[in-house]
Amino acid sequence: MKNSVVKRVLAVLAVAAISVAVPSGSASAGQRNGERRPTGIVAAWASAWSGTDPQALARLFTADATYTDFAVNVVSTGQEGVASWKQRTDLLIADVHVVVKESFRSGDHVAIETVYSGHIHGAPTPFAVPTTTILELRHGLIAVDKDYYSLATVLAQSGLPADWTPPAA
């Protein structure tokens, strides 16, 4: 009986500690219109993706970072690679916008649920798809970024055929 009481007290203290020590980029940050207002690295990351300066995104990453976009099977490395990926994205997609719906952090790992939207140049209609991103941080910077979304949904919403590929540069 004594052990179960101690376990309950520890569980309650752990929950209380977590609720007090939730990082600023977490889902408990303020809400408005049902959307989470991200702060910290999550807000900076979403803002950089929604902006037009590839270097703004690159500055959030470590020098040896790895950025993986699983939908299109592209891996970019280092700040230069991240900047190049952002630049290529902006050349292909107009009005790129990332809206954070939810995020949480556990140690140096961050999970982000977003809506990724834009308009592929030459496509009949814009797209807005759910996306999940997992970040691994090192010294406050992004060391690993893994993006997951459905390319098939992007193409279908854009009015493009499933076998569409971007024009050669």
pLDDT tens digits, 96-107: 999 999 999 999
Q: Is the pLDDT of residue 118 over 90?
A: yes
For the chain, give every domain's residue range.
23-158
pLDDT tens digits, 49-107: 999 999 999 999 999 999 999 999 999 999 999 999 999 999 999 999 999 999 999 99
- Answer yes or no: are the C-beta atoms of 113 and 98 closer than 8 Å: no
Distance of CA 88 to the CA centre of its chain: 17
Q: Does domain 23-158 have CATH number 3.10.450.50?
A: yes
- Answer yes or no: are the C-beta atoms of 61 and 37 closer than 8 Å: no
Provide the 10 A C-beta neighbour count for residue 14.
Answer: 10
- Answer yes or no: are the C-beta atoms of 130 and 142 closer than 8 Å: no
CA distance 60 to 50: 14
